[in-house]
Amino acid sequence: MSLSPAPPESSKGVFSDLRRFLFRKPAIPTLLRFRSEAEREDYSHRILQRVGVSVERYAVLNIHRIGIEAPVLHVFRELSDWDATSVWWPNHLATVDRAHGSLEELRIIPFGRLGRSQPAAKRSSRPPGRTLFELKALKISSRPHSADFDNARYLLYECKGGYPIGVFVMYVRSPIAENEETESAQIFFSVGFDFYGKKGWTRANPVNKLWEIVHNRVTANILNRFKQLCEWEFEDSSGAVFELSRPGVTVANPE
């Protein structure tokens, strides 16, 4: 299923983020629901097999997936541009702060855009209380392994410094026919963690249920917007290439 042939609209502020990411029902559902403990164990094994980390010990395992009509490499490149300007992410609610200008170390800061006009030195000294969580790259795989037939690329992070203590992975691969996947690229957002490192927190139903409601709605909208952006960009670039390749078409010298 393709989305609108136009890029997602940029969010204008906190209330705009709330409307686009929390209050809006996503066009395509993305949450993978475990029908049994055995199915959860199966997905845990798949994660271990593909990225080399175990999520079995974490109380929370949450996985979202969406298909994108664009090549895996194109999707991963867009994913690698993730920062405070990404229109597919709710940056007014939870700003992505690249600690050293790269994807190696990130902080997710609540309402961080309020301080983005400050010099970088001051922004990097924000008090820990303003951090939702921190991400430190365990592995960034920008090309598939020689024995990998899934054409997979991913960003794998350790989560700490906030409420989720665990791991987070953004994983892109080619479709698997037996899974009835049809789009050119499949992207997964997976998180395994304990609330503040305490497994008992998930037994407090109000806490866990509220987190699930908010996280699942926001993540689904993030992936829908990411899909829309990637498909629009790829369609737009493909159209430009087609126009330039037509007989008789010349390109003016930009100089």
- Dig out the tokens for 25 from the structure: 């029902």
Q: For the chain, what percent of residues have pLDDT higher than 70?
A: 82
Tokens 């790259």: give the residue.
137
More confident residue, 140 or 163: 140
Alpha-carbon gap, residue 46 to 28, rounded angstroms: 24
Tell me what pLDDT residue 109 has: 94
Across 133-156, average pLDDT:
89
Question: Among residues 3, 4, 5, which one has the least CA distance to residue 28?
Answer: 3
User: Can you tell me the mean pLDDT for 228-233?
Assistant: 96
pLDDT above 90 covers what percent of the chain? 65
- pLDDT, position 207: 73
The pLDDT score that the predictor gives to residue 202 is 66
The pLDDT, as a whole number, for residue 196 is: 85
Distance CA(236)–CA(242), nearest Å, equals 10
What's residue 112's pLDDT? Answer: 72
Residues contacting 7, CB < 8 A, separation 6+: 87, 228, 229, 232, 233
In sequence order, the β-bridge partners of residue 106 are 98, 135
Question: According to the model, what pLDDT value does residue 208 have?
Answer: 78
- pLDDT tier at 171, thresholds 50, 70, 90: very high
Compute the C-alpha angle 132/153/22, nearest 5°.
35
Give residue-wise pLDDT tens across range 102-141: 999 999 999 875 444 444 444 444 444 578 999 999 999 9
**7 compared with 207, residue with greater pLDDT:** 7
pLDDT tens track for 58-90? 989 999 999 999 999 999 999 999 999 999 999
What domains can be seen in the chain, in order of their start residue? 14-242 (3.30.530.20)
8 Å CB contact between 159 and 194: no
At position 200, the amino acid (one-letter code) is G
Please give the order of strands across the beta sheet that includes 133-141. 60-68, 185-195, 164-173, 153-160, 133-141, 105-110, 94-98
180-210: per-residue pLDDT in tens?
A: 899 999 999 999 999 888 877 666 667 778 8
Judge whether 187 and 172 are in contact, CB under 8 Å: yes
Taking CB atoms within 8 Å and a gap of at least 24, the contacts of 30-33 are: 30/64, 30/65, 30/66, 30/189, 30/219, 30/220, 30/223, 30/224, 31/62, 31/63, 31/64, 31/216, 31/219, 31/220, 32/63, 32/64, 32/65
Mean of all residue pLDDT scores within the chain:
85
CA dist 195 and 202 (Å) reads 7
Structural element, H or E, at residue 125: none
* Mean pLDDT confidence for 161-182: 93
pLDDT of residue 239: 54
**pLDDT 10s digits, 34-63:** 999 999 999 999 999 999 999 999 989 999
Q: Can you read off the two tokens belonging to residue 195?
A: 């609330």
pLDDT in the model for residue 92: 94
Do strands 94-98 and 105-110 pair parallel, antiparallel, or not at all (unpaired)?
antiparallel
